[in-house]
């Protein structure tokens, strides 16, 4: 059951606006979203830092979403709300352990 996970690290003092933008994107993208799961987390050790963890069935599915116009527009709007450029981690899933 390998897959692909992307982690986007952001720094922002405007998290409420970021979340509102995420909700708008989710509503507008409808069935074009190909991710299987997405989490937004807050870093307890670094206030103002957040990690978006997005899981996909494959790298190809992730690229399909990345190239979607809704995603491109979201990224442009998101950049305005950030205190620093986002940092990306592109991860191939090697193993999944049941909890």
Name the average pLDDT for the chain. Answer: 91
Question: Percent of the chain scored above 70 by pLDDT?
Answer: 94
Indicate the pLDDT class of residue 19, thresholds 50, 70 and 90. very high
Structural domain boundaries in the chain: 4-92
The predicted structure's pLDDT at residue 53? 96
How far apart CA 78 and CA 25 sit, in angstroms, is 11
pLDDT, tens digit, 9 for 90 and up, residues 46-87: 999 999 999 999 999 999 888 888 888 899 999 999 999 999
User: How would CATH label the architecture of 4-92?
Assistant: 2-Layer Sandwich (3.30)
Q: Could you tell me if residue 5 is left (phi over 0), alpha (psi between -120 and 50 degrees) or otherwise beta?
A: beta
């Amino acid at each position: 059951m390998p897959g692909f996970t992307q982690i986007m690290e952001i720094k922002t003092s405007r998290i409420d606006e970021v979340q509102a933008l995420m909700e708008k994107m989710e509503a507008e993208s409808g069935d074009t979203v190909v991710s299987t799961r997405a989490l937004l987390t807050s870093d307890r050790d670094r206030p103002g830092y957040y990690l978006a963890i997005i899981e996909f069935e494959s790298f190809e599915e992730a690229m399909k979403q990345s190239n979607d116009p809704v995603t491109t527009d979201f990224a442009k709007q998101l950049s305005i709300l950030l205190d620093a450029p986002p940092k990306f981690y592109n991860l191939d899933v090697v193993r999944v352990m049941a909890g």
